[in-house]
Amino acid sequence: MSEEFLKKLSDRQNRILRAKADFPIFHKKKEKRPLIYLDNAATTQKPRQVIESLVSFYEQHNSNVHRGIYRLSEEATSLYEGARRSVAHFIGASSPQSIVFTRGTTESINMIARSWLQPKLNRGDHILVTEMEHHSNLIPWQLVAQETGAQLSYLSITSQGILELENLEALLTPDTKILAVSAVSNVLGTINPLEHLIKTAHSHNIPVLVDGAQAVARQIIDVAALDCDFFVFSAHKMYGPTGIGVLYCKPEHQQDIQPFMGGGGMIEQVQEQNASWTEYPWKLEAGTPAIAQAVGLSAAIDYLQGVGLETIGRHEKELTDYALQKLTQWPGVSVHGPVNLTQKAGVISFQVDNTHPHDVAQILDEDGIAVRAGHHCAQILMSRLGVPATVRLSFSLYNDQAEIDQFAESLLKVQQMFG
Ligand code: PMP
């Protein structure tokens, strides 16, 4: 790409085009063909800046945190706590102390289910979820419901994959103890109306947990403005490392969360038979935390903000629009979920007549195109859609229209093969 060519492009196009160069996985030597990675809802690729932050931590600052009284440990602690500040700022939390580092979205939801909700649950209580939730936002609630005699109730979706909001009020009963909902569906790309859901639940004094796993890398999140009670996400879906995620919790609930795990780093005083805990959030971070990963998450936030979340969101919408124009008019292909871009993020699920999604994914893989096929950890949604599995495309800042054209060529081949 010549400098002259880049100068002619808009600022936004320019930033997006340059971004792909930051991802070493797309520049591997000795590859037969370039990788077309369309499985970003599963995990995103990592830019050099994030990879270098991990290497630099291990080469320059590696030590345990909160323990040593020596310089290196102070450096590591300062980087780790700096990452907490950076996360708080990124999602609009008023204080870094509202941020607990976990292993990911799944652990964050389990923590709230076990350590906050379960002690409050009684037989006959309800946990309200939606038909489009990822298993991470279903199974933790099922586990605590089974132990307490509570039940899950489901806010339904339309055949277009949109929440049926007219059914919401009836589900917000005095027995409903929490509403747990995703910001963006990992299968349909549906963007849920969080403000409305949270306001309505709060008008019945029902707290809300938002699963932000698919939202944080594509839209600006402001937990204070949203007024959600809990917000959870994973670093690996926003260009950061695996092994670290976030639990944001409103200050008013923090003291109610009992430690999920015991161990070093979370105590104040230990006696033979019992112990007292240190302050929130550290009382929830037993054991040596994912220090390098926290540093990597902070680098991912810097990276995302450097390119600009609005720029990324807009780019992904353009790609979604381009792909939808092809797929919605394609004979023998049916698209699930909304096609209206105001309600859809960069995730598209579809079916090819007479062809199993796994076969589609396998043939695309032969052309170097990585897509996901399966139930996407959303079996309740699959049965609502009446299919066992779908093929899923999910976009990111480094994808482009030429890749979608190549995907379309490959899809044509699939149809030719399966008649
Ligand atoms: N919720 C949603 C909406 C997701 O897409 C995912 C990951 N596919 C999860 C939760 C679980 O995230 P993790 O595996 O990182 O805990």
pLDDT of 62-111, one tens digit each?
A: 999 987 789 999 999 999 999 999 999 999 999 999 999 999 999 999 99
Ligand 1 pocket, mutate which of 134, 210, 380 (most atoms under 8 A from CB):
134
pLDDT for 9: 66
79: in domain: yes
Contact indicator for 89, 246 with CB cutoff of 8 Å: no
Q: What is the rounded average pLDDT of the residues 173-188?
A: 98
Nearby residues of 41 by Cβ (< 8 Å), 6 or more positions away: 186, 214, 237, 347, 372, 376, 392, 394
Into how many domains does the chain fold? 2
Length of the chain, in residues: 419
CA of 359 from ligand 1 middle (Å) equals: 24
Q: Is the pLDDT of residue 7 over 90?
A: no
Q: Is 326 helix (H, G, I), strand (E, B) or coil?
A: helix
Confidence of residue 13 (pLDDT cuts 50, 70, 90): confident
Average pLDDT over the chain, rounded to whole? 95
152: in domain: yes
CA of 232 from ligand 1 middle (Å) equals: 10
pLDDT for 385: 96
Confidence of residue 139 (pLDDT cuts 50, 70, 90): very high
Q: Which residues pair with 191 in a beta bridge?
A: 184
Of 261, 280, 305, which residue sits at a domain end?
A: 305
CA of 354 from ligand 1 middle (Å) equals: 30
Catalytic residue among 99, 377, 380, 381: 377
138: in domain: yes
Q: What is the rounded average pLDDT of the residues 155-164?
A: 97
Pair 38, 60 in one domain: no
**Percent of the chain having pLDDT more than 90?**
92
Residues in contact with ligand 1 (CB, 6 Å cut-off): 41, 104-106, 134, 136-137, 182, 186, 211, 213-214, 234
Q: What is the pLDDT of residues 255-292, one digit of tens each?
A: 999 998 999 999 999 999 999 999 999 999 999 999 99
CATH (domain of 27): 3.90.1150.10
Residue identifier of the C-alpha nearest atom 7 of ligand 1 = 42
22: in domain: yes
CA of 81 from ligand 1 middle (Å) equals: 25
Pair 181, 219 in one domain: yes
Residue closest to 211 by CA, chosen among 105, 127, 98: 105
pLDDT for 8: 63
Pair 42, 155 in one domain: no
Q: What is the rounded average pLDDT of the residues 239-243?
A: 98
Q: Is the pLDDT of residue 124 over 60?
A: yes
377 catalytically annotated: yes
Residue closest to 22 by CA, chosen among 2, 52, 43: 52
pLDDT for 3: 65
2: in domain: no
Ligand 1 pocket, mutate which of 111, 188, 214, 244 (most atoms under 8 A from CB):
214
Ligand 1 pocket, mutate which of 136, 182, 381 (most atoms under 8 A from CB):
136
3: in domain: no
pLDDT for 1: 56
Of 305, 324, 346, which residue sits at a domain end?
A: 305
pTM of the model: 0.96
Of 257, 287, 305, which residue sits at a domain end?
A: 305
Pair 293, 317 in one domain: no
Residue identifier of the C-alpha nearest atom 12 of ligand 1 = 105
5: in domain: no
CATH (domain of 111): 3.40.640.10
**Percent of the chain having pLDDT more than 70?**
98
pLDDT for 406: 97
CA of 134 from ligand 1 middle (Å) equals: 7
CA of 66 from ligand 1 middle (Å) equals: 30
Pair 244, 296 in one domain: yes
- Which of 18-22, 133-137, 206-210, 374-378 comes out lowest in average pLDDT? 18-22
Pair 341, 277 in one domain: no
Segments forming the whole domain that contains residue 228? 51-305
24: in domain: yes
Pair 357, 375 in one domain: yes
Q: What is the pLDDT of residues 44-75, one digit of tens each?
A: 999 999 999 999 999 999 999 987 789 999 99
CA–CA distance, 217 with 154 (Å, rounded to integer): 27
Pair 112, 220 in one domain: yes
Pair 184, 92 in one domain: yes
Pair 77, 97 in one domain: yes
